Chains A and B, each alone.
Chain A
Protein backbone atom coordinates (compact mmCIF):
# COMPACT_ATOMS: atom_id res chain seq x y z
CA UNK A 1 0.00 0.00 0.00
CA UNK A 2 1.61 3.29 -1.08
CA UNK A 3 1.57 6.55 0.86
CA UNK A 4 -1.33 8.09 -1.07
CA UNK A 5 -3.53 5.02 -0.69
CA UNK A 6 -2.64 4.84 2.99
CA UNK A 7 -3.68 8.48 3.40
CA UNK A 8 -7.02 7.85 1.69
CA UNK A 9 -7.64 4.75 3.81
CA UNK A 10 -6.86 6.90 6.87
CA UNK A 11 -9.37 9.53 5.70
CA UNK A 12 -12.02 6.84 5.22
CA UNK A 13 -11.27 5.47 8.71
CA UNK A 14 -11.63 8.95 10.23
CA UNK A 15 -14.95 9.42 8.41
CA UNK A 16 -16.25 6.06 9.61
CA UNK A 17 -15.15 6.85 13.19
CA UNK A 18 -16.84 10.26 12.81
CA UNK A 19 -20.02 8.55 11.62
CA UNK A 20 -20.12 6.60 14.89
CA UNK A 21 -19.15 9.65 16.97
CA UNK A 22 -21.84 11.99 15.56
CA UNK A 23 -24.50 9.60 16.83
CA UNK A 24 -23.42 10.57 20.34
CA UNK A 25 -24.10 14.28 19.79
CA UNK A 26 -26.57 15.21 22.53
CA UNK A 27 -29.87 16.82 21.61
CA UNK A 28 -29.99 20.36 22.98
CA UNK A 29 -32.33 20.74 25.92
CA UNK A 30 -35.28 23.00 25.34
CA UNK A 31 -34.73 25.92 27.69
CA UNK A 32 -38.03 27.66 28.16
CA UNK A 33 -38.01 31.42 28.12
CA UNK A 34 -39.17 31.71 31.71
CA UNK A 35 -36.10 29.75 32.85
CA UNK A 36 -33.80 32.47 31.54
CA UNK A 37 -32.34 34.87 34.06
CA UNK A 38 -33.52 38.48 33.89
CA UNK A 39 -31.58 41.46 35.14
CA UNK A 40 -32.86 44.71 36.56
CA UNK A 41 -36.30 45.48 37.94
CA UNK A 42 -38.96 43.13 36.71
CA UNK A 43 -42.48 41.91 37.31
CA UNK A 44 -42.25 38.75 39.40
CA UNK A 45 -44.73 35.88 39.08
CA UNK A 46 -46.56 37.36 36.08
CA UNK A 47 -49.15 34.57 36.14
CA UNK A 48 -50.60 35.99 39.35
CA UNK A 49 -51.78 38.91 37.22
CA UNK A 50 -53.84 36.52 35.10
CA UNK A 51 -55.19 34.47 38.00
CA UNK A 52 -58.12 34.77 40.31
CA UNK A 53 -56.16 37.04 42.67
CA UNK A 54 -55.08 39.45 39.94
CA UNK A 55 -57.00 42.28 41.63
CA UNK A 56 -54.49 42.20 44.49
CA UNK A 57 -51.55 43.03 42.26
CA UNK A 58 -52.90 44.73 39.15
CA UNK A 59 -52.02 48.18 40.50
CA UNK A 60 -48.32 47.16 40.30
CA UNK A 61 -48.65 47.35 36.55
CA UNK A 62 -49.24 51.11 36.57
CA UNK A 63 -45.56 51.95 36.88
CA UNK A 64 -44.75 49.86 33.76
CA UNK A 65 -47.24 51.64 31.53
CA UNK A 66 -46.06 54.51 29.32
CA UNK A 67 -46.68 57.94 30.82
CA UNK A 68 -49.24 59.00 28.20
CA UNK A 69 -51.35 55.84 28.66
CA UNK A 70 -51.03 55.47 32.42
CA UNK A 71 -54.14 57.46 33.46
CA UNK A 72 -56.29 55.64 30.93
CA UNK A 73 -54.88 52.28 32.02
CA UNK A 74 -55.61 53.14 35.65
CA UNK A 75 -59.20 53.96 34.73
CA UNK A 76 -59.59 50.90 32.55
CA UNK A 77 -58.26 48.43 35.11
CA UNK A 78 -60.48 50.03 37.71
CA UNK A 79 -63.51 49.48 35.46
CA UNK A 80 -62.60 45.95 34.41
CA UNK A 81 -61.75 44.80 37.91
CA UNK A 82 -65.01 46.23 39.24
CA UNK A 83 -67.45 44.68 36.78
CA UNK A 84 -70.46 43.50 38.72
CA UNK A 85 -73.45 41.21 38.02
CA UNK A 86 -71.75 39.22 35.29
CA UNK A 87 -72.89 41.05 32.13
CA UNK A 88 -72.64 39.35 28.77
CA UNK A 89 -69.21 39.93 27.22
CA UNK A 90 -70.56 41.49 24.02
CA UNK A 91 -72.94 43.75 25.90
CA UNK A 92 -70.22 45.07 28.19
CA UNK A 93 -67.64 45.50 25.42
CA UNK A 94 -70.15 47.37 23.26
CA UNK A 95 -70.85 49.83 26.04
CA UNK A 96 -68.93 53.09 26.54
CA UNK A 97 -66.57 51.60 29.11
CA UNK A 98 -66.01 48.51 27.02
CA UNK A 99 -65.14 50.51 23.93
CA UNK A 100 -62.60 52.58 25.88
CA UNK A 101 -61.02 49.40 27.24
CA UNK A 102 -60.93 47.81 23.77
CA UNK A 103 -59.16 50.88 22.35
CA UNK A 104 -56.66 50.83 25.17
CA UNK A 105 -56.02 47.12 24.65
CA UNK A 106 -55.05 47.89 21.05
CA UNK A 107 -52.55 50.51 22.23
CA UNK A 108 -51.09 48.31 24.96
CA UNK A 109 -50.57 45.46 22.48
CA UNK A 110 -48.28 47.71 20.49
CA UNK A 111 -46.34 48.92 23.51
CA UNK A 112 -43.66 47.32 25.68
CA UNK A 113 -43.77 43.73 26.91
CA UNK A 114 -44.95 44.90 30.34
CA UNK A 115 -47.79 46.78 28.63
CA UNK A 116 -48.57 43.60 26.68
CA UNK A 117 -48.84 41.77 30.01
CA UNK A 118 -51.12 44.49 31.31
CA UNK A 119 -53.33 44.09 28.23
CA UNK A 120 -53.49 40.34 28.79
CA UNK A 121 -54.37 40.85 32.46
CA UNK A 122 -57.36 42.95 31.34
CA UNK A 123 -58.46 40.30 28.81
CA UNK A 124 -58.31 37.55 31.44
CA UNK A 125 -60.28 39.68 33.90
CA UNK A 126 -62.91 40.33 31.22
CA UNK A 127 -63.15 36.57 30.65
CA UNK A 128 -63.51 36.11 34.40
CA UNK A 129 -66.04 38.86 35.08
CA UNK A 130 -68.35 38.62 32.05
CA UNK A 131 -70.64 35.88 30.79
CA UNK A 132 -69.70 33.98 27.66
CA UNK A 133 -71.18 30.58 28.40
CA UNK A 134 -74.16 30.54 25.99
CA UNK A 135 -77.58 30.05 27.47
CA UNK A 136 -80.22 27.88 25.88
CA UNK A 137 -82.23 30.89 24.75
CA UNK A 138 -79.39 32.99 23.31
CA UNK A 139 -80.09 34.16 19.77
CA UNK A 140 -76.43 34.07 18.71
CA UNK A 141 -75.02 31.69 21.31
CA UNK A 142 -71.41 31.84 20.12
CA UNK A 143 -71.19 35.64 20.05
CA UNK A 144 -69.83 36.26 23.56
CA UNK A 145 -67.15 33.59 23.50
CA UNK A 146 -66.13 34.52 19.94
CA UNK A 147 -65.84 38.23 20.88
CA UNK A 148 -63.55 37.52 23.83
CA UNK A 149 -61.60 35.01 21.73
CA UNK A 150 -61.06 37.82 19.22
CA UNK A 151 -59.33 39.90 21.93
CA UNK A 152 -57.10 36.93 22.85
CA UNK A 153 -56.34 36.24 19.18
CA UNK A 154 -55.36 39.87 18.55
CA UNK A 155 -52.98 39.69 21.50
CA UNK A 156 -51.53 36.37 20.32
CA UNK A 157 -50.98 37.67 16.80
CA UNK A 158 -49.04 40.61 18.20
CA UNK A 159 -47.14 38.79 20.95
CA UNK A 160 -47.44 35.02 20.36
CA UNK A 161 -44.04 34.52 18.79
CA UNK A 162 -42.12 37.20 20.72
CA UNK A 163 -43.88 36.36 23.95
CA UNK A 164 -42.97 32.66 23.76
CA UNK A 165 -39.29 33.66 23.77
CA UNK A 166 -39.64 36.31 26.45
CA UNK A 167 -38.86 35.36 30.07
CA UNK A 168 -41.67 37.59 31.35
CA UNK A 169 -44.32 36.67 28.79
CA UNK A 170 -43.59 33.00 28.04
CA UNK A 171 -46.07 31.57 30.53
CA UNK A 172 -48.75 34.25 30.00
CA UNK A 173 -48.48 33.63 26.24
CA UNK A 174 -49.22 29.95 26.70
CA UNK A 175 -52.10 30.89 28.99
CA UNK A 176 -53.45 33.22 26.29
CA UNK A 177 -53.30 30.39 23.74
CA UNK A 178 -55.15 28.05 26.09
CA UNK A 179 -57.78 30.71 26.80
CA UNK A 180 -58.25 31.29 23.08
CA UNK A 181 -58.67 27.56 22.47
CA UNK A 182 -61.16 27.29 25.34
CA UNK A 183 -63.22 30.25 24.11
CA UNK A 184 -63.35 28.97 20.54
CA UNK A 185 -64.22 25.48 21.75
CA UNK A 186 -67.07 27.06 23.69
CA UNK A 187 -68.15 28.98 20.58
CA UNK A 188 -67.99 25.77 18.56
CA UNK A 189 -70.18 23.89 21.02
CA UNK A 190 -72.49 26.79 21.81
CA UNK A 191 -75.49 25.42 19.92
CA UNK A 192 -77.98 23.14 21.58
CA UNK A 193 -78.03 20.89 18.50
CA UNK A 194 -74.94 20.37 16.43
CA UNK A 195 -71.79 22.47 16.45
CA UNK A 196 -70.69 25.76 14.96
CA UNK A 197 -68.35 24.71 12.16
CA UNK A 198 -67.40 28.26 11.34
CA UNK A 199 -66.11 28.94 14.89
CA UNK A 200 -64.30 25.60 14.86
CA UNK A 201 -62.57 26.28 11.55
CA UNK A 202 -61.64 29.82 12.58
CA UNK A 203 -60.21 28.68 15.91
CA UNK A 204 -58.34 25.82 14.26
CA UNK A 205 -56.88 28.03 11.55
CA UNK A 206 -55.69 30.64 14.04
CA UNK A 207 -54.13 28.13 16.42
CA UNK A 208 -52.54 26.16 13.58
CA UNK A 209 -50.93 29.34 12.27
CA UNK A 210 -49.80 30.41 15.72
CA UNK A 211 -48.12 27.08 16.54
CA UNK A 212 -46.86 26.43 13.01
CA UNK A 213 -48.87 23.28 12.41
CA UNK A 214 -49.70 24.16 8.81
CA UNK A 215 -46.15 24.99 7.78
CA UNK A 216 -44.71 21.77 9.21
CA UNK A 217 -42.19 23.80 11.22
CA UNK A 218 -43.27 24.68 14.72
CA UNK A 219 -43.09 28.26 15.90
CA UNK A 220 -41.59 29.32 19.24
CA UNK A 221 -45.13 29.35 20.67
CA UNK A 222 -45.68 25.85 19.23
CA UNK A 223 -42.48 24.64 20.91
CA UNK A 224 -43.43 26.27 24.18
CA UNK A 225 -46.91 24.70 24.14
CA UNK A 226 -45.48 21.34 23.10
CA UNK A 227 -43.13 21.31 26.08
CA UNK A 228 -45.79 22.29 28.66
CA UNK A 229 -49.10 21.16 27.15
CA UNK A 230 -48.22 18.19 24.92
CA UNK A 231 -51.69 16.67 25.17
CA UNK A 232 -53.31 19.85 23.84
CA UNK A 233 -50.82 19.90 20.96
CA UNK A 234 -51.37 16.21 20.26
CA UNK A 235 -55.11 16.69 20.01
CA UNK A 236 -54.63 19.77 17.84
CA UNK A 237 -52.94 17.50 15.28
CA UNK A 238 -55.76 14.95 15.30
CA UNK A 239 -58.32 14.61 12.54
CA UNK A 240 -61.34 15.78 14.50
CA UNK A 241 -62.39 17.79 17.56
CA UNK A 242 -58.96 19.38 17.59
CA UNK A 243 -59.68 22.24 19.99
CA UNK A 244 -60.70 19.87 22.75
CA UNK A 245 -57.17 19.56 24.16
CA UNK A 246 -56.84 23.33 24.62
CA UNK A 247 -60.23 23.44 26.30
CA UNK A 248 -59.29 20.66 28.71
CA UNK A 249 -55.94 22.22 29.59
CA UNK A 250 -57.52 25.65 30.10
CA UNK A 251 -60.20 24.19 32.37
CA UNK A 252 -57.44 22.63 34.49
CA UNK A 253 -55.24 25.75 34.56
CA UNK A 254 -58.07 28.27 35.09
CA UNK A 255 -61.06 26.49 36.64
CA UNK A 256 -62.68 29.84 37.49
CA UNK A 257 -62.87 30.79 33.78
CA UNK A 258 -66.16 29.02 33.26
CA UNK A 259 -68.06 31.65 31.27
CA UNK A 260 -70.44 32.27 34.15
CA UNK A 261 -68.25 34.53 36.32
CA UNK A 262 -67.27 31.60 38.53
CA UNK A 263 -70.85 31.04 39.49
Chain B
Protein backbone atom coordinates (compact mmCIF):
# COMPACT_ATOMS: atom_id res chain seq x y z
CA UNK B 1 0.00 0.00 0.00
CA UNK B 2 1.43 3.39 -0.96
CA UNK B 3 0.61 6.31 1.34
CA UNK B 4 -0.49 9.54 -0.33
CA UNK B 5 2.12 12.35 -0.24
CA UNK B 6 -0.18 14.45 2.00
CA UNK B 7 -0.36 11.63 4.58
CA UNK B 8 3.42 11.16 4.48
CA UNK B 9 4.03 14.82 5.34
CA UNK B 10 1.44 14.81 8.13
CA UNK B 11 2.82 11.55 9.54
CA UNK B 12 6.33 13.01 9.43
CA UNK B 13 5.27 16.08 11.40
CA UNK B 14 3.38 14.00 14.00
CA UNK B 15 6.20 11.46 14.35
CA UNK B 16 8.71 14.30 14.67
CA UNK B 17 6.58 15.91 17.41
CA UNK B 18 6.40 12.59 19.29
CA UNK B 19 10.20 12.17 19.03
CA UNK B 20 10.64 15.71 20.34
CA UNK B 21 8.32 14.96 23.27
CA UNK B 22 10.16 11.74 24.14
CA UNK B 23 13.55 13.41 23.81
CA UNK B 24 12.35 16.31 25.96
CA UNK B 25 11.27 13.92 28.72
CA UNK B 26 14.71 12.25 28.72
CA UNK B 27 16.55 15.59 28.67
CA UNK B 28 14.47 16.79 31.62
CA UNK B 29 15.43 13.93 33.93
CA UNK B 30 18.49 12.99 35.95
CA UNK B 31 19.23 10.20 38.39
CA UNK B 32 20.94 10.73 41.73
CA UNK B 33 23.48 8.47 43.37
CA UNK B 34 20.75 6.65 45.28
CA UNK B 35 18.97 5.80 42.02
CA UNK B 36 16.14 8.32 42.61
CA UNK B 37 14.78 10.29 39.63
CA UNK B 38 14.49 14.05 39.67
CA UNK B 39 14.10 16.93 37.22
CA UNK B 40 16.84 19.07 35.72
CA UNK B 41 14.97 22.29 36.55
CA UNK B 42 13.13 24.94 34.58
CA UNK B 43 15.90 27.56 34.42
CA UNK B 44 17.79 25.92 31.51
CA UNK B 45 14.48 25.37 29.69
CA UNK B 46 13.62 29.06 30.06
CA UNK B 47 16.95 29.99 28.45
CA UNK B 48 16.39 27.36 25.74
CA UNK B 49 12.89 28.70 25.05
CA UNK B 50 14.20 32.25 24.81
CA UNK B 51 16.89 31.28 22.31
CA UNK B 52 14.48 29.09 20.33
CA UNK B 53 12.05 32.00 20.12
CA UNK B 54 14.84 34.26 18.91
CA UNK B 55 15.85 31.70 16.29
CA UNK B 56 12.26 31.33 15.07
CA UNK B 57 11.78 35.12 14.99
CA UNK B 58 14.97 35.46 12.93
CA UNK B 59 13.63 32.80 10.62
CA UNK B 60 10.22 34.51 10.22
CA UNK B 61 11.86 37.85 9.47
CA UNK B 62 14.18 36.23 6.90
CA UNK B 63 11.17 34.79 5.06
CA UNK B 64 9.27 38.12 4.99
CA UNK B 65 6.82 37.11 7.69
CA UNK B 66 5.61 33.81 6.25
CA UNK B 67 3.54 31.93 8.83
CA UNK B 68 1.91 28.49 9.05
CA UNK B 69 -1.42 28.49 7.25
CA UNK B 70 -3.16 25.37 8.57
CA UNK B 71 -3.37 23.16 11.64
CA UNK B 72 -0.49 20.89 10.69
CA UNK B 73 1.70 23.90 9.96
CA UNK B 74 0.95 25.23 13.44
CA UNK B 75 1.64 21.80 14.99
CA UNK B 76 4.99 21.75 13.15
CA UNK B 77 6.01 25.20 14.36
CA UNK B 78 5.00 24.47 17.98
CA UNK B 79 6.81 21.11 17.93
CA UNK B 80 9.87 22.74 16.36
CA UNK B 81 9.88 25.48 19.00
CA UNK B 82 9.73 22.98 21.86
CA UNK B 83 12.28 20.74 20.14
CA UNK B 84 14.76 23.60 19.87
CA UNK B 85 14.06 24.65 23.46
CA UNK B 86 14.66 21.11 24.77
CA UNK B 87 17.83 20.63 22.71
CA UNK B 88 19.33 23.96 23.80
CA UNK B 89 18.31 23.42 27.45
CA UNK B 90 19.78 19.91 27.37
CA UNK B 91 23.04 20.92 25.76
CA UNK B 92 23.83 24.02 27.81
CA UNK B 93 25.75 23.78 31.07
CA UNK B 94 23.02 23.87 33.75
CA UNK B 95 24.14 27.13 35.38
CA UNK B 96 26.89 29.53 36.29
CA UNK B 97 29.32 31.41 34.05
CA UNK B 98 29.77 28.45 31.70
CA UNK B 99 26.09 28.53 30.77
CA UNK B 100 26.16 32.25 29.99
CA UNK B 101 29.29 31.87 27.88
CA UNK B 102 27.54 29.16 25.88
CA UNK B 103 24.40 31.31 25.56
CA UNK B 104 26.53 34.13 24.18
CA UNK B 105 28.12 31.80 21.63
CA UNK B 106 24.71 30.47 20.62
CA UNK B 107 23.26 33.95 20.23
CA UNK B 108 26.17 34.82 17.96
CA UNK B 109 25.94 31.66 15.88
CA UNK B 110 22.22 30.89 15.81
CA UNK B 111 20.34 34.14 15.96
CA UNK B 112 22.71 36.72 14.50
CA UNK B 113 23.62 34.50 11.58
CA UNK B 114 21.13 35.22 8.76
CA UNK B 115 19.04 32.08 8.17
CA UNK B 116 19.06 30.73 4.64
CA UNK B 117 15.48 31.09 3.41
CA UNK B 118 16.08 28.61 0.59
CA UNK B 119 16.68 25.65 2.90
CA UNK B 120 13.50 26.15 4.91
CA UNK B 121 15.31 25.08 8.09
CA UNK B 122 14.83 26.85 11.40
CA UNK B 123 18.29 25.93 12.57
CA UNK B 124 21.42 25.32 10.50
CA UNK B 125 23.53 22.15 10.64
CA UNK B 126 26.44 24.20 12.04
CA UNK B 127 24.26 25.22 15.00
CA UNK B 128 23.38 21.58 15.64
CA UNK B 129 27.12 20.82 15.57
CA UNK B 130 27.75 23.56 18.11
CA UNK B 131 24.95 22.22 20.33
CA UNK B 132 26.43 18.72 20.11
CA UNK B 133 29.77 20.17 21.28
CA UNK B 134 28.01 21.90 24.17
CA UNK B 135 26.39 18.60 25.12
CA UNK B 136 29.81 16.92 25.13
CA UNK B 137 31.11 19.69 27.37
CA UNK B 138 28.13 19.29 29.70
CA UNK B 139 28.72 15.54 29.87
CA UNK B 140 32.38 16.14 30.64
CA UNK B 141 31.80 18.57 33.50
CA UNK B 142 29.02 16.33 34.84
CA UNK B 143 31.48 13.44 34.80
CA UNK B 144 34.05 15.55 36.63
CA UNK B 145 31.39 16.61 39.14
CA UNK B 146 30.21 13.05 39.68
CA UNK B 147 33.80 12.25 40.73
CA UNK B 148 33.77 15.32 42.98
CA UNK B 149 36.29 17.11 40.77
CA UNK B 150 34.91 20.60 40.51
CA UNK B 151 37.03 21.87 37.64
CA UNK B 152 37.03 21.38 33.87
CA UNK B 153 40.58 20.09 33.96
CA UNK B 154 43.78 20.40 35.92
CA UNK B 155 47.09 21.09 34.26
CA UNK B 156 50.62 20.25 35.41
CA UNK B 157 52.68 23.36 36.10
CA UNK B 158 55.84 23.11 33.99
CA UNK B 159 59.10 22.77 35.92
CA UNK B 160 57.36 22.54 39.32
CA UNK B 161 55.58 19.32 38.39
CA UNK B 162 58.86 17.75 37.22
CA UNK B 163 60.54 18.20 40.61
CA UNK B 164 60.51 15.09 42.83
CA UNK B 165 59.60 17.00 46.01
CA UNK B 166 56.40 15.97 47.73
CA UNK B 167 56.03 19.27 49.58
CA UNK B 168 55.45 20.91 46.19
CA UNK B 169 52.41 18.70 45.55
CA UNK B 170 49.84 21.40 46.32
CA UNK B 171 51.31 23.74 43.69
CA UNK B 172 52.27 21.19 41.05
CA UNK B 173 48.88 21.35 39.34
CA UNK B 174 46.53 24.20 38.50
CA UNK B 175 42.76 23.74 38.31
CA UNK B 176 41.14 25.36 35.27
CA UNK B 177 37.49 26.32 34.93
CA UNK B 178 36.18 25.57 38.39
CA UNK B 179 32.45 25.16 39.08
CA UNK B 180 30.22 24.18 41.99
CA UNK B 181 27.58 21.46 42.55
CA UNK B 182 24.99 24.25 42.85
CA UNK B 183 25.85 25.58 39.37
CA UNK B 184 25.58 22.09 37.99
CA UNK B 185 22.10 21.59 39.42
CA UNK B 186 23.13 18.25 40.89
CA UNK B 187 20.70 16.50 43.24
CA UNK B 188 21.78 16.58 46.92
CA UNK B 189 22.78 12.92 46.81
CA UNK B 190 25.09 13.49 43.84
CA UNK B 191 24.67 12.42 40.22
CA UNK B 192 24.62 8.91 38.81
CA UNK B 193 26.66 9.92 35.78
CA UNK B 194 26.29 6.77 33.68
CA UNK B 195 22.48 6.68 33.73
CA UNK B 196 22.01 10.46 33.51
CA UNK B 197 24.48 10.84 30.64
CA UNK B 198 22.73 8.05 28.73
CA UNK B 199 19.36 9.76 29.23
CA UNK B 200 20.68 13.13 28.06
CA UNK B 201 22.52 11.76 25.01
CA UNK B 202 19.48 9.73 23.97
CA UNK B 203 17.17 12.70 24.58
CA UNK B 204 19.42 14.96 22.50
CA UNK B 205 19.47 12.45 19.63
CA UNK B 206 15.68 11.99 19.71
CA UNK B 207 15.00 15.74 19.83
CA UNK B 208 17.45 16.43 17.01
CA UNK B 209 15.94 13.67 14.87
CA UNK B 210 12.47 15.05 15.66
CA UNK B 211 13.42 18.59 14.62
CA UNK B 212 14.98 17.40 11.36
CA UNK B 213 11.93 15.26 10.60
CA UNK B 214 9.49 18.07 11.38
CA UNK B 215 11.48 20.50 9.24
CA UNK B 216 11.60 18.17 6.23
CA UNK B 217 7.94 17.22 6.62
CA UNK B 218 6.88 20.87 6.89
CA UNK B 219 8.50 21.63 3.54
CA UNK B 220 6.71 18.61 2.11
CA UNK B 221 3.44 19.73 3.69
CA UNK B 222 3.73 23.22 2.20
CA UNK B 223 4.45 21.66 -1.21
CA UNK B 224 1.29 19.58 -0.79
CA UNK B 225 -0.70 22.75 -0.15
CA UNK B 226 0.62 24.43 -3.34
CA UNK B 227 0.04 21.23 -5.27
CA UNK B 228 -3.56 21.02 -4.00
CA UNK B 229 -4.29 24.57 -5.22
CA UNK B 230 -2.80 23.92 -8.67
CA UNK B 231 -4.84 20.72 -8.91
CA UNK B 232 -8.07 22.78 -8.63
CA UNK B 233 -7.37 23.78 -12.29
CA UNK B 234 -8.54 21.51 -15.12
CA UNK B 235 -6.15 18.53 -15.42
CA UNK B 236 -4.23 19.50 -18.61
CA UNK B 237 -3.87 23.12 -17.44
CA UNK B 238 -2.59 21.97 -14.05
CA UNK B 239 -0.03 19.75 -15.81
CA UNK B 240 1.18 22.71 -17.86
CA UNK B 241 1.42 24.90 -14.73
CA UNK B 242 3.43 22.24 -12.91
CA UNK B 243 5.76 21.94 -15.90
CA UNK B 244 6.20 25.70 -15.98
CA UNK B 245 6.70 25.83 -12.18
CA UNK B 246 8.53 22.68 -11.03
CA UNK B 247 8.02 21.64 -7.37
CA UNK B 248 11.72 22.11 -6.59
CA UNK B 249 11.32 25.87 -7.17
CA UNK B 250 8.22 26.46 -5.04
CA UNK B 251 10.07 27.31 -1.84
CA UNK B 252 12.60 29.48 -3.67
CA UNK B 253 9.82 31.33 -5.48
CA UNK B 254 8.26 32.21 -2.13
CA UNK B 255 5.12 30.06 -2.46
CA UNK B 256 5.49 28.51 1.02
CA UNK B 257 3.62 30.14 3.88
CA UNK B 258 1.45 32.38 1.70
CA UNK B 259 -2.27 32.69 2.40
CA UNK B 260 -4.53 30.99 -0.19
CA UNK B 261 -5.42 34.09 -2.19
CA UNK B 262 -1.89 35.48 -2.32
CA UNK B 263 -0.66 32.04 -3.29
CA UNK B 264 -3.08 31.99 -6.24
CA UNK B 265 -1.99 35.49 -7.33
CA UNK B 266 1.66 34.54 -7.02
CA UNK B 267 1.16 31.41 -9.13
CA UNK B 268 -0.73 33.46 -11.73
CA UNK B 269 2.10 35.99 -11.87
CA UNK B 270 4.76 33.31 -12.13
CA UNK B 271 2.86 31.42 -14.85
CA UNK B 272 2.34 34.64 -16.79
CA UNK B 273 6.03 35.56 -16.50
CA UNK B 274 7.16 32.07 -17.52
CA UNK B 275 4.76 32.08 -20.50
CA UNK B 276 6.13 35.42 -21.68
CA UNK B 277 9.62 34.05 -21.42
CA UNK B 278 8.62 30.94 -23.32
CA UNK B 279 7.01 33.08 -26.04
CA UNK B 280 10.04 35.31 -26.48
CA UNK B 281 12.23 32.26 -26.71
CA UNK B 282 9.92 30.66 -29.21
CA UNK B 283 10.04 33.83 -31.32
CA UNK B 284 13.78 33.99 -31.13
CA UNK B 285 13.99 30.45 -32.38
CA UNK B 286 11.45 30.93 -35.29
CA UNK B 287 12.99 29.08 -38.37
CA UNK B 288 12.08 31.90 -40.81
CA UNK B 289 14.07 34.32 -38.68
CA UNK B 290 17.07 32.14 -38.12
CA UNK B 291 18.35 33.31 -41.55
CA UNK B 292 18.74 36.80 -40.06
CA UNK B 293 21.58 35.44 -37.99
CA UNK B 294 23.61 34.98 -41.18
CA UNK B 295 22.95 38.56 -42.45
CA UNK B 296 26.29 40.07 -43.37
CA UNK B 297 24.91 43.61 -43.94
CA UNK B 298 25.49 45.88 -46.97
CA UNK B 299 23.43 45.75 -50.14
CA UNK B 300 23.03 41.97 -50.12
CA UNK B 301 22.05 42.05 -46.47
CA UNK B 302 19.40 44.72 -46.99
CA UNK B 303 17.90 42.73 -49.84
CA UNK B 304 17.92 39.59 -47.64
CA UNK B 305 16.23 41.46 -44.78
CA UNK B 306 13.61 42.91 -47.19
CA UNK B 307 12.71 39.41 -48.32
CA UNK B 308 12.62 37.67 -44.87
CA UNK B 309 11.41 40.37 -42.47
CA UNK B 310 7.80 41.25 -42.97
CA UNK B 311 7.89 43.98 -40.35
CA UNK B 312 10.79 45.79 -42.06
CA UNK B 313 9.72 49.45 -42.58
CA UNK B 314 9.25 50.55 -46.22
CA UNK B 315 12.01 52.82 -47.49
CA UNK B 316 10.85 56.09 -49.10
CA UNK B 317 11.20 56.16 -52.85
Contact = CB atoms under 8 A, between A and B. Distances in A.
Does B associate with A?
A: yes
B257 interface: no
Contacts, number: 123
A27 B32 contact: yes
B148 A216 contact: no
Interface of A: 1, 5, 8-9, 11-16, 18-20, 22-30, 194-195, 197, 213, 216-218, 223, 226-227, 233-234, 236-241
Contacts of B82: 16, 19
Contact of B147 (A19, A30, A237): A237
A239 B42 contact: no
Interface residues of B, number: 48
A15 B23 CA distance: 9
The CB with the most chain B CB atoms within 10 A, among A23, A25, A240, is that of A23
Contact of A1 (B17, B71, B188, B192): B71
Nearest to B83: A16
Given A23-B41, A213-B148, A15 B170 contact: no
Contacts of A195: 166
Interface of A, secondary structure class, is helix
B37 interface: yes
A19 B10 contact: no
A18 B34 contact: no
A24 B23 CA distance: 16
Contacts of A12: 14, 17-18, 20-21, 75, 79
Interface of B: 10, 14, 17-18, 20-25, 27-29, 32-34, 36-42, 45, 71-72, 75, 79, 82, 86, 146-150, 154, 166, 169-170, 172-173, 187-190, 192-194
B188 A30 contact: yes
A9 B75 contact: yes
A223 B39 contact: no
Contact of A16 (B10, B71, B79, B150): B79
Given A14-B21, A27-B187, A218-B33, A240 B172 contact: yes
Contacts of A241: 169-170
A258 B76 CA distance: 70
Given A20-B28, A223-B34, A240-B172, A11 B18 contact: yes
Given A19-B23, A226-B148, A239-B173, 19 more contacts: A9-B17, A11-B18, A13-B17, A19-B21, A20-B28, A23-B45, A27-B187, A27-B188, A28-B34, A28-B189, A30-B188, A30-B189, A216-B147, A216-B193, A218-B33, A233-B148, A240-B169, A240-B170, A240-B172
Nearest to A244: B170
Contacts of B170: 240-241
B173 A15 contact: no
A28 B190 CA distance: 11
Given A12-B21, A240-B173, A223 B189 contact: yes
A25 B190 contact: no
Contacts of A26: 38-39
Contacts of B27: 19
A30 B75 CA distance: 42
Nearest to B79: A12
Contact of B42 (A23, A27, A28, A213): A23
Contacts of A223: 33-34, 189-190
